[in-house]
């Protein structure tokens, strides 16, 4: 058995970091690399679980950020506590970003989701922005899970845009700006990269075939080339 075929246990509030990491890690292993959080189809129940689970981790995230040595998890997979924390944070933050944030303002809303545990929130956020510890963990988690990312890319809002690469665009952004985006106006960095609009090899590597199919479906609907029912039936999250 490997990570791609492992049977997942039921999620429990008493799960340790390694168990929660393994549960979500397995969900990504069937996906091509690089990948995005949306492609793993994280459920509402799983998002709510992560939110409550983080709220119960009193004092632990600070120690996890400092633990960089590889430890065995399951099926020959190893990971550091920093990588595990960063991966779980990215999954939760990405889902919150898509469903609750605007295109321009994401961190204050994400920080609010961690308000139930002041100790954890203080480790991850300062002045409603991710702390340096949080950023380092995000980078480690993105690399461990082979997520699309712009970590350590000069001239980029690397952490902001890394989150957007996981979801494409926010619900609020789509409601307010989708027509102009489809007309080629004001594309966000994430939309450009996922569509493969960049000219260099690094940008092309971040492109997503499923996102491009979604984008073409939306453009076809806007141009009245397909019906609303056909567009609605497109299976992309």
* DSSP collapsed to 3 states, 14-64: CCCHHHHHHHHHHHHCCCCCCECHHHHCCCHHHHHHHHHHHHCCCCHHHHH
Q: What is the mean pLDDT of the chain?
A: 91
Closest CA to 120 of 34, 55, 186: 55
- Rounded to whole angstroms, the Cα distance separating 203 from 208 reads 11
Residue 211, pLDDT above cutoff 90 = yes
Domain residue ranges in the chain: 17-167, 177-232
φ/ψ of 134, rounded to 5, equals -65, -45
Say which residues have a Cβ less than 8 Å from residue 226's Cβ, sequence separation at least 6: 217, 220
Q: What pLDDT is stored for residue 174 in this prediction?
A: 92
**Per-residue model confidence as pLDDT tens digits over 12-50:** 989 999 999 999 999 999 999 999 999 999 999 999 999
Q: What pLDDT is stored for residue 229 in this prediction?
A: 79
Find how far residue 66's CA is from the centre of its chain. 22
- Mean pLDDT for 70-85 is 96
Residue 233, pLDDT above cutoff 80 = no
- Rounded to whole angstroms, the Cα distance separating 137 from 216 reads 35
- Mean pLDDT for 116-122 is 94
How many CA atoms within 13 Å lie on the side-chain side of 156?
A: 19
Report in angstroms the alpha-carbon separations of 4 from 12, 31, 133, 142, 149.
Answer: 21, 9, 30, 18, 22
Q: What pLDDT is stored for residue 69 in this prediction?
A: 96
- Rounded to whole angstroms, the Cα distance separating 142 from 128 reads 21
Report in angstroms the alpha-carbon separations of 77 from 1, 28, 137, 190, 214.
Answer: 12, 13, 18, 30, 33
Q: How many CB atoms sit inside 10 A of residue 41's CB?
A: 12
Q: What pLDDT is stored for residue 155 in this prediction?
A: 60
- Rounded to whole angstroms, the Cα distance separating 45 from 12 reads 12
Q: What pLDDT is stored for residue 237 in this prediction?
A: 46
User: Among residues of the chain, what percentage have pLDDT more than 90?
Assistant: 74
Quote the radius of gyration of the chain (alpha carbons, Å): 18
Q: What pLDDT is stored for residue 5 in this prediction?
A: 54
Residue 1, pLDDT above cutoff 50 = no
**Per-residue model confidence as pLDDT tens digits over 163-198:** 999 999 999 999 999 989 888 888 899 999 999 886
**Stretch (H or E) spanning 115:** none
């Amino acid at each position: 058995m490997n990570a791609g075929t492992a049977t997942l246990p039921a999620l429990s509030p008493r799960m340790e970091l390694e168990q929660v990491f393994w549960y979500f890690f397995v969900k990504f292993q069937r996906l091509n690399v690089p990948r995005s959080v949306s492609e793993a189809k994280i459920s509402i129940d799983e998002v709510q679980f992560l939110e409550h689970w983080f709220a119960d981790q009193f004092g632990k995230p600070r120690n996890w950020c400092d633990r960089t040595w590889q430890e065995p998890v399951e099926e020959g997979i190893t990971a550091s506590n920093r990588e595990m924390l960063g991966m779980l944070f990215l999954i939760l933050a990405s889902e919150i970003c898509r469903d609750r944030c605007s295109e321009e303002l994401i961190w204050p809303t994400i920080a609010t989701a961690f308000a139930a545990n002041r100790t954890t929130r203080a480790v991850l956020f300062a002045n409603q922005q991710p702390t340096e510890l949080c950023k380092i963990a995000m980078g480690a988690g993105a690399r461990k899970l082979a997520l699309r990312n712009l970590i350590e890319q000069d001239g980029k809002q690397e952490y902001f845009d890394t989150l957007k690469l996981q979801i494409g665009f926010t619900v609020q952004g789509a409601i307010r700006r989708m027509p102009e985006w489809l007309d080629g106006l004001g594309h966000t960095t994430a939309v450009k990269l996922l569509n493969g609009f960049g000219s260099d090899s690094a940008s092309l590597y971040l492109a997503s075939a499923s996102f491009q199919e979604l984008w073409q479906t939306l453009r076809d609907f806007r141009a009245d080339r397909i019906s609303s029912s056909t567009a609605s039936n497109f299976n992309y999250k």
